[in-house]
Amino acid sequence: MTQAIRPRAADAPEPTRTNVPTADSHDDTRTAMSSTTIRRAFLDHVFYTQGKLPGLASRNDLYQALAHTVRDRLVQRWISTAEAYLGQPSRTVAYLSAEFLIGPHLANNLVNLGILDEVEAAMAELDIELGDLLAQEVEPGLGNGGLGRLAACFMDSLATMQIPALGYGIRYEYGIFHQSIVDGMQVESTDTWLRHGNPWEIQRPELAVEVKLGGHTEHYTDDRGRYRVRWVPAKTVVGVPFDSPVLGYRVNTVNTLRLWRAEATEAFDFNVFNRGDYLGAVNKKVTSENLTKVLYPNDETEQGKELRLEQQYFFVSCSLKDMLRLLDVHGIPISRFHEKFAVQLNDTHPSIGIAELMRLLVDDHDMAWEEAWEITRQAFAYTNHTLLPEALECWPLPLFARTLPRHLEIIYEINARFLNEVRIRFFGDDSRLSRLSLIGGNNDFIRMANLACVGSHAINGVAQLHSRLMREDVLKDFHAMWPDKFTNITNGVTPRRWLVVSNPRLSKLACEAIGDGWIRNLSELRGLEPYAEDAGFRERWQRMRNANKNDLARVIREVTGVVVDPTSMFDVMVKRIHEYKRQHLAVLHIVALYHRIKSDPNADIQPRTFLFGGKAAPGYHYAKLMIRFITAVGDVVNRDPQVRDRLKVVFLPNFNVTYGQRIYPAADLSEQISLAGKEASGTGNMKFAMNGAITIGTMDGANIELRDEIGADNFFPFGLSASEVYALKASGYRPLSVYESDPELRAVIDLVRQGFFSKGDPSVFQPLFDGLLQHDPYLLLADFASYVHCQQDVSNAYADQDRWQRMSVLSCARSGHFSSDRAIQEYAERVWRVQPVPVSLLRASMAASARRNAQAGTE
């Protein structure tokens, strides 16, 4: 599957070609960046790497060849970075995340290297359209949504800011499932992203590590009379790292994304347990390799899945052992682990790392508990991502004991010491003890969030509101214990991928107006503010946005067959499908508009194209029904001759980063309508705003800060606030009385309940609407009138295009706060205490002479 490891640049022979221009002053001839050199290198890769004559190469061959051409230029910087880090051993961020939703590599790397034009020219000389090759890339879908995408944005910002960092995660053989829509319903299929190979990774078998699982522990006294524990596992698997280079924007820093793949340990399986049972042994090998086969789609609850616990432990154990190896490479004693590594937990998924580092230090490295605990606590920091209590990870104790018997003992010990501290601090407060305990119920389950809080020196939420609710609600007992551990760092997104790569037209306009400093320092977009008052600029801005809308209209037509009017308002909601995000509220608004037109064909309705996209977890039936509701309403609306020229409803299947890059830049209206208090931050909201879409949103997550930055005049807020939600629920919310008192809402709901959108069959959407009328846990009915009213304000604003374009320019101009560079700067100062390490480019010839011992250069 993987490409053969190419010779390192360091081992490459001196270039002998004489007709290669030497215009590239800073660079080796072989990896020079002129279009001529790139073209030659590309043709070499078609021939030597793909093994094809150019005339016979498939489009995929050409893509692979170009990817390798670009990779060579990354590798040169990658090795330079490793050398720089080795020469200046500074603190390194280890970002642990079960998900990295990185998106396609090629275009991003061309932008960050600064060779987009050269490559385009090189391809053009060969009659190849660069766009065709870019379209060939299959994106690695190694994440579910926002959380995985955040990790990817952070990797980009870390490299751009020249901060030494390693991303550690799992190399899932199948990423997030592929979604298609059949008869209006979601159908899942496997995501075989590796089927054509992955030119962006290098396998490092020499850095493989062993991971134990299951079995039991044995307690004994060692020859020095000390109490010791030995873990006798039921099985071991091998973790093999696959490294991908993460290049910063126009710098030489290339950090590493190191993803682990599980393989079988042949010696163990074949010789010890399965002697004479060859097929049994092969079977065992297959079982081991299942560990990293598939990404779990995040279901309603994340509980009780054995393989998932094994996945989490597997990648965390591999990563910590890799960090210990790096300490060794750098000659740093293990007692200084926390000085070398700032380990960030992206949610609780990797929090077992706290117990694993304790085990490695105490059991494997003979360290005293107290010292190990100091090191662990100073190394780890935890980012909380959810306020939904059902999404806080808990592992059933029997499952945990079966999988990680030694870690259970360690967690008991951590808990006992911690609860002793609590007993003294909060004398006689037994209920507090049980709330804080790492063990829940009656010794029933392990609370991973509690483990993360106890074992970390810093705990952060991802937007101001979220951090406040975290302090006051989900983690309030920990906040009472350690207020100083808590901080907020509002999420951000990388402007490289979400503006420069995905919206070249906007980027060009911005660069012409204010230069290109905003690409590294997004707050410079403020320089665009005065242009909002410049009619000529507004006209160019509108043309740019229309061109993006035309592009998206073409994509929609190609994928769904639906023809949409690019002059209509593009009203967009793309994100995971979930009750708390309330896609069904957006649909109720569409039904309300439909009902208005049917009741009065001359009603003044702003033409809109409603675009939805997003995946529902395969086991989340309610969310799948929400998709069916969207497509069912679309079927009627798009067909009705009275309506279809004014309203269109499209569900674009398989929303992912690649589609996001087409969608965010083409949206007029950004739907951010979660129930207040439920969305931790959201990052889609930031991508839309940066690209000039106007937001209609609740006062939830980062929407609040977005409105503060963009200005209340340029934001459409509606709905209950988080505290109003709380008060309404406390006072006894009755959705039925809302239904009874609002004639439009009643008409809308009755239309659906009668089966109007389900060919007369009222049973299809009955589960949706029974829930709404009886409990309505996400307060759709309570927010309906406010939402529909606010949407009328949106329509009025859009009708005044001058006003709308002014708002759009301001939205972009004032979005600088939402760069992930700003977020990373805050983590670097307040949580990690890390400094940039600039990297200078090593020439291949210099690298050859400066080469160190064989261990070096793997960070």
783 near 585, Cβ under 8 Å?
yes
The yes or no reply on residue 171 touching ligand PLP (CB under 6 A) is no
Q: Which residues, 576 to 595, sit near ligand PLP by CB under 6 A?
A: 576
Q: How far is the CB of 191 from ligand PLP (least distance, A)?
A: 13
Measured from the CB atom, is 575 or 806 closer to ligand PLP? 575
- What ranges make up the beta strands (E) of 265-334? none
The yes or no reply on residue 684 touching ligand PLP (CB under 6 A) is yes
Active site residue 212: no
Q: How far is the CB of 219 from ligand PLP (least distance, A)?
A: 47
Q: How far is the CB of 573 from ligand PLP (least distance, A)?
A: 8
User: Phi/psi of residue 524, each to 5°?
Assistant: -65, -15
105 near 142, Cβ under 8 Å?
no
Using Cβ positions, the residue closest to ligand PLP within the complex turns out to be 684
Q: How far is the CB of 510 from ligand PLP (least distance, A)?
A: 21
Q: How far is the CB of 83 from ligand PLP (least distance, A)?
A: 34
Measured from the CB atom, is 233 or 684 closer to ligand PLP? 684
The yes or no reply on residue 199 touching ligand PLP (CB under 6 A) is no
The yes or no reply on residue 178 touching ligand PLP (CB under 6 A) is no
x/- map, 249-288, ligand PLP, by CB under 6 A: ----------------------------------------
Task: Tell me how far apart the alpha carbons of residues 209 and 360 are, in angstroms, rounded to a whole number.
Answer: 13
x/- map, 619-638, ligand PLP, by CB under 6 A: --------------------
| 347 phi-psi bin (left φ>0, alpha ψ -120 to 50, beta other) | left
Active site residue 576: yes
Measured from the CB atom, is 61 or 671 closer to ligand PLP? 671
Residue 284: count of CB within 10 angstroms of its CB: 20
Active site residue 687: yes
The yes or no reply on residue 683 touching ligand PLP (CB under 6 A) is yes
Task: Tell me how far apart the alpha carbons of residues 237 and 287 are, in angstroms, rounded to a whole number.
Answer: 10
Buried b (16+ CB within 10 A) or exposed e, 443-479: eebbbbbbbbbbbbbbbbbbbbbbbebbbeebbebbb
The yes or no reply on residue 677 touching ligand PLP (CB under 6 A) is no
Identified catalytic residue from 485, 576, 608, 817: 576
Identified catalytic residue from 212, 485, 581, 806: 581
Q: How far is the CB of 577 from ligand PLP (least distance, A)?
A: 10
679 near 585, Cβ under 8 Å?
no
Q: Helix axis angle, 116-125 relative to 35-44, nearest 10°? A: 60
Task: Tell me how far apart the alpha carbons of residues 415 and 478 are, in angstroms, rounded to a whole number.
Answer: 14
Q: Which residues, 800 to 829, sit near ligand PLP by CB under 6 A?
A: none
381 near 459, Cβ under 8 Å?
yes
The structure tokens listed for 638 are 């798009």
Measured from the CB atom, is 233 or 660 closer to ligand PLP? 660
Measured from the CB atom, is 146 or 665 closer to ligand PLP? 146
Measured from the CB atom, is 144 or 252 closer to ligand PLP? 144
Measured from the CB atom, is 98 or 213 closer to ligand PLP? 98
Q: Which of 84, 75, 82 is nearest to 838 (CA)?
A: 84
Coil, helix or strand at residue 548 = helix
Q: How far is the CB of 324 from ligand PLP (least distance, A)?
A: 34
Interface with ligand PLP by CB under 6 A: which range of 157-165, 333-341, 436-444, 651-659? Answer: 651-659
Interface with ligand PLP by CB under 6 A: which range of 77-85, 633-641, 679-687, 798-806? Answer: 679-687
Measured from the CB atom, is 84 or 627 closer to ligand PLP? 627
Active site residue 624: no
Task: Tell me how far apart the alpha carbons of residues 667 and 634 are, in angstroms, rounded to a whole number.
Answer: 19
Q: How far is the CB of 629 from ligand PLP (least distance, A)?
A: 19
Q: Which residues, 60 to 89, sit near ligand PLP by CB under 6 A?
A: none
Task: Tell me how far apart the alpha carbons of residues 620 and 630 are, in angstroms, rounded to a whole number.
Answer: 16
Active site residue 330: no
The residue with tokens 């949407």 is 791
Q: How far is the CB of 661 from ligand PLP (least distance, A)?
A: 8
Cα–Cα distances in angstroms (integers) from residue 90 to residues 93, 343, 374, 839, in the given order: 10, 14, 20, 13
Q: How far is the CB of 672 from ligand PLP (least distance, A)?
A: 7
Buried b (16+ CB within 10 A) or exposed e, 9-42: bbebeeeeeeebeeeeeebbbbbbbbbbbbbbbb
Coil, helix or strand at residue 179 = strand
The yes or no reply on residue 241 touching ligand PLP (CB under 6 A) is no
The yes or no reply on residue 665 touching ligand PLP (CB under 6 A) is no
Specify the DSSP class assigned to residue 194. T
The yes or no reply on residue 657 touching ligand PLP (CB under 6 A) is yes
* The binder of ligand PLP chosen from 105, 575, 646, 678 (CB under 6 A): 575
Measured from the CB atom, is 77 or 576 closer to ligand PLP? 576
Q: How far is the CB of 95 from ligand PLP (least distance, A)?
A: 18
Identified catalytic residue from 687, 753, 822, 843: 687
Measured from the CB atom, is 84 or 463 closer to ligand PLP? 463
Q: Which residues, 696 to 725, sit near ligand PLP by CB under 6 A?
A: none
Q: How far is the CB of 660 from ligand PLP (least distance, A)?
A: 4
Interface with ligand PLP by CB under 6 A: which range of 175-183, 439-447, 465-473, 654-662? Answer: 654-662
Measured from the CB atom, is 379 or 680 closer to ligand PLP? 680
Active site residue 476: no
Q: Which residues, 114 to 153, sit near ligand PLP by CB under 6 A?
A: 145-146, 149
119 near 35, Cβ under 8 Å?
yes
Cα–Cα distances in angstroms (integers) from residue 148 to residues 39, 103, 242, 684, 710, in the given order: 35, 10, 18, 13, 26
Q: Which residues, 515 to 544, sit near ligand PLP by CB under 6 A?
A: none
Q: Rg of the Cα trace of the chain? A: 28
Q: How far is the CB of 685 from ligand PLP (least distance, A)?
A: 6
Task: Tell me how far apart the alpha carbons of residues 8 and 30 are, in angstroms, rounded to a whole number.
Answer: 12
DSSP codes joined into one string, 421-444 = HHHHHTTT-HHHHHHH-SEETTTT
Degrees (nearest 5) of the Cα angle 546, 550, 551?
Answer: 120
* The binder of ligand PLP chosen from 104, 405, 682, 697 (CB under 6 A): 682
* The binder of ligand PLP chosen from 656, 698, 758, 858 (CB under 6 A): 656
| 225 phi-psi bin (left φ>0, alpha ψ -120 to 50, beta other) | left
The yes or no reply on residue 461 touching ligand PLP (CB under 6 A) is no
Identified catalytic residue from 31, 631, 683, 695: 683
CA 328 from chain center: how many Å? 31
Cβ-Cβ contacts under 8 Å for 37 (sequence gap 6 or more) = 20, 21, 24, 29, 30, 31
Task: Tell me how far apart the alpha carbons of residues 152 and 106 are, in angstroms, rounded to a whole number.
Answer: 15
Identified catalytic residue from 575, 584, 624, 806: 575
* The binder of ligand PLP chosen from 184, 248, 405, 660 (CB under 6 A): 660
Measured from the CB atom, is 679 or 776 closer to ligand PLP? 679
Interface with ligand PLP by CB under 6 A: which range of 59-67, 402-410, 646-654, 678-686? Answer: 678-686
CA 34 from chain center: how many Å? 34
* Helix (H) or strand (E) segment spanning residue 346: strand 341-346
Measured from the CB atom, is 175 or 455 closer to ligand PLP? 175
* Binding footprint of ligand PLP on the chain (CB under 6 A): 145-146, 149, 575-576, 655-657, 660, 682-684, 687
By annotation, the residues acting in catalysis are: 385, 575-576, 581, 683, 687
